[in-house]
Structure 1
Amino acid sequence: MTGNDWIIAFAAELGIEPLDETDVEALLDLAGVAAHASERLAAPLTCYLAAKAGISPTDALARARAMAGA
């Protein structure tokens, strides 16, 4: 199973629409900013916090970049 296949299947398991390409890219970039500004563990947890806050991946990325000074 590819990563994309996994994401589609997991979204279906959760009863939600799969991510679009813009959100995928923003989340990957968000994870990268978090990991480079801190430690590796910050990457997935930062993405989780953004989702929990109910903000878009693009908004979360902008906030993380500002926080990291990037």
Structure 2
Amino acid sequence: MSDERSAGTSTTAAEWLAGFEAVIGTSAPGPEVTEALLNLAGVAAHDSERIAAPIACWMAGVAGVDPAEALERAKQYAQDRAG
């Protein structure tokens, strides 16, 4: 996860997530889980509309599926759809 600030923002992603941890009552994921979630979001967004990215990550979390496993399932689903 990059710590670079985007144009127009005053907080990095790491800073924002650290603050959000206190609000939501859980810790942000570590680097490996973060990478899997970002890749899962990428598969969902590239295989459909961008809105699928955050929703797919939420679905994996609610289902209790490990992000790395969810990523593999998403890749397989996208491959199966491509025929």
Same fold, judged at TM 0.5 (above): yes
Whose radius of gyration is greater, 1 or 2? 2
**What does residue 5 of structure 1 align with?**
15
Aligned length: 70
2:34 alignment partner AA: V
Deviation at 1:11, TM superposition (A): 2.0
Give the % identical residues. 46
Q: Which moved more, 1:4-13 or 1:28-37?
A: 4-13
Residue 28 of structure 1 is matched in structure 2 by 38
Provide the TM-score with structure 2 as the length reference: 0.78
Of the three residues 59, 73, 76, the one matched with 1:49 is 59
Quote the offset at 1:12 in angstroms.
2.4
Q: Does 1:58 align with 2:76?
A: no
Question: Structure 1 length normalisation: TM-score?
Answer: 0.91
**Gaps in structure 2 of 5+ consecutive residues:** 1-10
Structure with the bigger percentage of helix = 1
SS of 1:69's equivalent in the other structure is helix
